[in-house]
Structure 1
Amino acid sequence: MKTILKAGQLNVLYENGSLRYISSGKTELLRMIYPAVRDEEWNTVNPVILGEVIDKTDDSFRIKLSILYRSGEINFRAKYFIEGKSDNTISFGMEGEASGTFRKNRIGLCVLHPAEECAGKNCTVEHTDGSVESSFFPEEINPHQVFFNVRSLKWIAGKINCSVTFEGDVFETEDQRNWTDTSFKTYSTPLSLPFPVVITEGTRVNQKVVFRAGNITGAERADNQFNVIRLIPEESYILPSIGVSRSSSGNALTLQEIRTLRTIGFNHYRTDIPLYSPDWIEIADLSLNESFELGCQMEPALFFAGDVSRHASAFAEWMETRKPDIARILIFHRDSPSTPDDIATKVISILRNTDPDVKIATGSNAGFVHINRFRPGNTENDFICYPVHPQEHASDNATLVENLKGQGYTVRSAKVFAGNKGIIISPVTLQRRFNANISYVELPYRGDGIPPSVDPRLMTLFGACWTAGSLKYLGEADADSITYFETRGARGIIQGNEEPEWPGLLPSAKGMIFPVFHIFRFVLAHRNFNIIKSVSTDPLSVDCLSLANGKEARLVVVNFSDEQAQVRIEGLAGKFRMVPLDGSTSAEASTDCRWTGNRHQKSFNPSDIISLNPNSVNFVEGWLKT
């Protein structure tokens, strides 16, 4: 349950054992204070609240909390004492004890500093030895830790003096934008110490974090009456190439599935081809046929291991005989976080002997953090590539929405060290495909039930809203190409002609078209439009993907929240039309690949305040103001 709290002039949201969005007026001071338990593979253990007491007044609060963490061998209990005082102080104390013996990578309190407010700003760091250092939060994404041995941090947000002190362990700060989180995180224990660590039964973990804010008299009050979306056509970007990944099920698409998917008009079709596997030619041939039937180019993702030269020569021979229409080739090594330069140089030389004009990308199949730490060199590659997903650290809806802006941060930072090379995002997924702390490629799932790579929200209106936000922030960062999700199935944009593999556990049915399908169809129907920048007064609730061609405007306005939202759009001229994809229209859209929703269309004036239904996608057609 969400609870709005006050600590003096500070506004706080309490939810599920965490404090979020600590702010004064419109200025966010901290993104979050929360406890985290992570196992030896860096999986986050979900908390189970055993007891919770909340006492609050108009300017203070106290929370007593008891939480159990159980997953695999992990068995840990903790009590938390959280207090907000009228003097703009918030404390978060933890008293935990291991109820069994287990291995862990992290147990303790974490503080998230909002990247939007902190990046590029000065900071004073007090270290555990008492020394004081003048430093700053980095503007570009730092591949490693930002601050070490932290006892306290001091910085200014707007005009507000902020400080946070840490007790009970040695803390350090990392740049979470490496994983598309929109924050810097201060945590314990330092990663320089060996991990995982065996925690024996009865081991106690006691920590405390205290946040203080000063000089906030006369802080500007937030206006929550309605949201405003402002279009900025002066900032315009070419619409990136947009593609889809081949289904990881491996089965060929049916004719009906191809007909449905072809109505979108994707630019390219990614297929993972492990050249060390004996069936790689069969995979490549299937992909070639499907890409032709879908009317788009191939994006082969080649995975090497063992005899690289032999495998590269074999694929070059396949290219020579099949004559595929290739958008670009992605080069990865099965056992490396980022494509090794010597392997890239060797493979590119072999492939270009067959096709001198073929475009090639090198980088990571696991995430931006890996190309940031192991940056591709100049190997005659044309692009740098990496995938994106929002759930490295948390999985709640709010975190997924917060992290949308972080996708754009990765593109801007990649451009700094990529030089004149393009940026390829491939693929974007709602859930991570595999745990990169274990492997750099996806391994066969051997468990029971729904695989951890499947997120049912992709099939829902929320998944469509999130995808529109992803297109917005990657497009506004000027990415060259983006590959999304898969064609069909539990990780796809349609269910396809087969029954769901886990019936009753996923919100899907045979033949179902998921709402996200209509996002791509709308955007690619306007492929001659550019993306223009737009800003929202509350992008965590309402946001907008904006397209324009001259004076024509096409918008995708989304409401991420579970509540109705009020919004006004600034920058349109004259009447505009809007079609909602929401709870009242999604059923008909789920059976019609050419759905337009025209019978639900409404007209509005630029000065109108529009009501958006919960978790809704709203397609707008209008004209830009000149």
Structure 2
Amino acid sequence: MSNPSRAIALYGTEEEVAPPRVLRAGKLSAELEAGNLRYIRWDGEEVLRAVSFIVRDHDWGTYAPQISGLTVQETEDAFHVSLQAVATGDGESFAYDARIEGRADGTLVFHGRGTTQTGFETNRTGFVILHPIDGVAGAPVTITHTDRRVVEDRFPEIIDPVQPMMDLRALAHTTPGGVAVNVLMEGDTYEMEDQRNWTDASYKTYVRPLALPWPYQIPPDEVVDQTITVTVKGHSQNNAASGAIALQPGAPEGDIPPIGIGLRPEDVATARGATETLKALGPAYMVLHHDPRAGHDCATLKAMLDVAEAIGAAPWLEAVIQSTDDIGTVAEIAALGQMATDLGDPFATVLVSPAPDLKCTLPGSVWPDAPDAAALYARTRDAFPQARIGGGMFSYFTELNRKRPPLEALDLVTFTTSPMVHAGDDRSVMETREAHAAIAASVSGIAAGTPWAVGPSAIGVRDNPYGAAAKENPTNIRQAMNRNDPRQRGLLGAAWALGYIADFASGGASAIALGGATGAFGVVSAPGDDPDPWYEGNGAVYPGFHVLRGLARLRGAPMRPLGLPASGPLAGVAAQTDAGVEIWVANTGPDPVDMSVSSACQVATLDAACFATAANAPDHLDDLVAHDGPLTLDGFAVVRILMKG
């Protein structure tokens, strides 16, 4: 089998992504991307992650507007951008003009002005500003409210479940490097949400308070006119380190938790055809999703159990409870317990969630009817007296943070995540790692000593709490809210999975489940309706398979922290084994990264050069070779290192 293109190896898609244009005016720089600004820097230090004029539909989907008349003018001391854009959908359209001006004195002005001739239904139309979290979380901020009151506050450190700052006109803070940043927001009332709830690496300040009705209608000829003015001052002391990154395992802290995978009835047939490969994967457990609303019954549950048994994984039941009244819930859980009894009581862990909790309830909204949580868990314990009972949310940490379970009724707290709820580009996906530590700390606080588990999580979105469904992806592109995301099959997916496990293992997770066996969230290529370029369903393994297999085999080994920052170019985890210190490291970007190891070692590498070989050799990373000296990791490469001692 010939090697795939580099694009397929790294990203699982041939989709071309235009590089952003870097705008400069003295010490000020910003990246122009799709008519908006990202990575606004002063003196080389990031001061804002993004300033964007966005148009969203009634399901919170963000339009990709048609841009025309784009002009960019640059001099040494200033840059100017102007464009026209139109967002169109469901017979409606919203057109706007945008002007951006950046000056060497540290002033950046972004103005947007738009109207609709048809009337336009939207959940949000206007500016969104993203503040980075690295070095900013917990730091002081000066708030100017719409009535001109000035209040001293701090950015949240533990993740705020709702809006930490409201009724905003301006925000001022100082970066970790000492640069003063002021953001003035005009044209409407703004408020902030903590986007770490969704694993975004930012605080988001957005237009139009959520307490107002949504979706809302922009009438014909009404003018939306907003301006964001950013001013920055000072000299950054935050100089980036250069040279090879040294790997130095620290003293043992905690153990590698069990690694699991998910399984849904729609993937049973292909998973059954890949049982030998999945057995080699060696997951500690398999989360079996059961939802009676989708027609799941005893037969579908038995089929999933057969797969778990065939690969030697402990079955966990993940059961959606569709009844919303207490009488119906009691009967439904009793029937579920009887179903398990008929199958031989195979579940040592049972997770339950009411169906209404699979959808988001935004701040200020009325919670939908659902069974009392404590009663739900008590009835589940009655039906499964020998099982560990888990609950929380089958959706994202966001929902867990907003609707916290009664801990006295639970043995395990659960939730999932996705790295592309709000943005689907490569950098945003990988940057979500910056939020993982805060999520781990926050859920540890919520759980208050009760063990917690995360997953099954994947790059793709298994459910959409904010709309009707996850997006289908027949053209195999990068986009937020994809169900089938191409990067699940690429080296980027493997690097992300390694970082995910490293982050949540060090954060205290008692168990971590990623993706699935086959299908959109899987680790083995199998026949199906979704695009699967180069693999074409031939049974080969995706790069993420090697990461999950390797870390699953380290279960219970003492972890040796590597001290790699989540915002850095490497992600990794190390464990003490009988053979020595085993280290797994991934390059989290597309460009090569140099690193060094303190002593001679043995290594095995997974990168674009050996992609085809690794796809057809599930044990590819078992073959260690002697190495001494620096290591260079190609884009999104993964390396396994064994150090003696």
The 3 A distance-change label for structure 1 pair 13 and 356 is same
Give the corresponding residue for 1:264: 281
Matches within 5 A, 1:390-469: 390-438=419-467, 452-469=482-499
Contact 1:28 1:117 in 2 (8 A): no
Give the corresponding residue for 2:619: 594
Contact 2:111 2:228 in 1 (8 A): yes
Question: Within 2, Cα distance between the matches of 1:550 and 1:8?
Answer: 55
Matches within 5 A, 1:23-172: 23-24=41-42, 27-98=45-116, 100-158=118-176, 159-172=178-191
Give the corresponding residue for 1:182: 201
Question: Within 1, Cα distance between the matches of 2:153 and 2:427?
Answer: 30
Equivalent residue of 2:394, what SS? Answer: coil
Question: Within 1, Cα distance between the matches of 2:531 and 2:459?
Answer: 20
Give the corresponding residue for 1:501: 529
Question: Within 2, Cα distance between the matches of 1:371 and 1:503?
Answer: 33
Give the corresponding residue for 2:4: none
Contact 1:24 1:221 in 2 (8 A): no
Equivalent residue of 1:532, what SS? Answer: coil
> For structure 2, which runs of at least 5 residues remain unmatched after alignment?
1-18, 360-367
Aligned pair partner of 2:633 in 608, 612, 617 = 612
The 3 A distance-change label for structure 1 pair 166 and 521 is same
The TM-score with structure 1 as length reference comes to 0.90
Matches within 5 A, 1:452-601: 452-496=482-526, 498=527, 500-502=528-530, 508-536=536-564, 539=567, 541-549=569-577, 552-563=580-591, 565-569=592-596, 572-596=597-621, 598=623, 601=625
Of 258-267 and 588-597, deviating more is 588-597
Alignment length, in residue pairs? 610
Question: Within 2, Cα distance between the matches of 1:59 and 1:614?
Answer: 35
Question: Within 2, Cα distance between the matches of 1:365 and 1:411?
Answer: 16
The 3 A distance-change label for structure 1 pair 351 and 18 is same
Q: Deviations over 1:455-478 (max 9, x none)?
A: 111111111111111112111211
Question: Within 2, Cα distance between the matches of 1:57 and 1:588?
Answer: 50
Contact 1:494 1:512 in 2 (8 A): yes
Contact 1:456 1:506 in 2 (8 A): no
Aligned pair partner of 1:22 in 40, 49, 55 = 40
> For structure 1, which runs of at least 5 residues remain unmatched after alignment?
none
Equivalent residue of 1:369, what SS? Answer: helix
Give the corresponding residue for 2:304: 287
TM-fit CA distance, 1:447: 10
Q: Deviations over 1:220-242 (max 9, x none)?
A: 4334x445254452362321221
TM-fit CA distance, 1:397: 0.5
Question: Within 2, Cα distance between the matches of 1:186 and 1:613?
Answer: 36
Contact 1:155 1:163 in 2 (8 A): yes
Contact 2:260 2:284 in 1 (8 A): yes
Aligned pair partner of 2:230 in 194, 211, 226 = 211
The 3 A distance-change label for structure 1 pair 340 and 590 is farther
Of 186-195 and 129-138, deviating more is 129-138
The 3 A distance-change label for structure 1 pair 208 and 530 is farther
One-letter code of the match for 1:212? T
The 3 A distance-change label for structure 1 pair 399 and 325 is same
Contact 2:70 2:83 in 1 (8 A): yes
Equivalent residue of 2:108, what SS? Answer: strand
Equivalent residue of 1:510, what SS? Answer: coil
The TM-score with structure 2 as length reference comes to 0.87
TM-fit CA distance, 1:103: 0.8
CA RMSD of aligned residues (A): 2.9
Question: Within 1, Cα distance between the matches of 2:487 and 2:473?
Answer: 21
Question: Within 1, Cα distance between the matches of 2:222 and 2:506?
Answer: 49
One-letter code of the match for 1:265? G
TM-fit CA distance, 1:246: 0.9
Contact 1:12 1:22 in 2 (8 A): yes
The 3 A distance-change label for structure 1 pair 63 and 221 is farther
Contact 2:290 2:301 in 1 (8 A): yes
One-letter code of the match for 2:642? E
Question: Within 2, Cα distance between the matches of 1:469 and 1:74?
Answer: 42
One-letter code of the match for 1:174? E
Matches within 5 A, 1:252-401: 252-253=269-270, 256-275=273-292, 279-306=296-323, 307-337=328-358, 343-353=372-382, 355-401=384-430
TM-fit CA distance, 1:504: 6.8
Contact 1:573 1:623 in 2 (8 A): no
Name whichever structure is richer in strand by fraction: 1
Question: Within 1, Cα distance between the matches of 2:215 and 2:303?
Answer: 42
Contact 1:19 1:34 in 2 (8 A): yes
Using CA pairs under 8 Å that are at least 6 residues apart, name the structure with larger relative contact order, 1 or 2.
Answer: 2
TM-fit CA distance, 1:618: 2.2
Question: Within 1, Cα distance between the matches of 2:63 and 2:598?
Answer: 50
The 3 A distance-change label for structure 1 pair 314 and 207 is same
Contact 2:60 2:467 in 1 (8 A): no
Equivalent residue of 1:335, what SS? Answer: helix
Equivalent residue of 2:514, what SS? Answer: strand
Of 52-61 and 200-209, deviating more is 52-61
Question: Within 2, Cα distance between the matches of 1:219 and 1:373?
Answer: 38
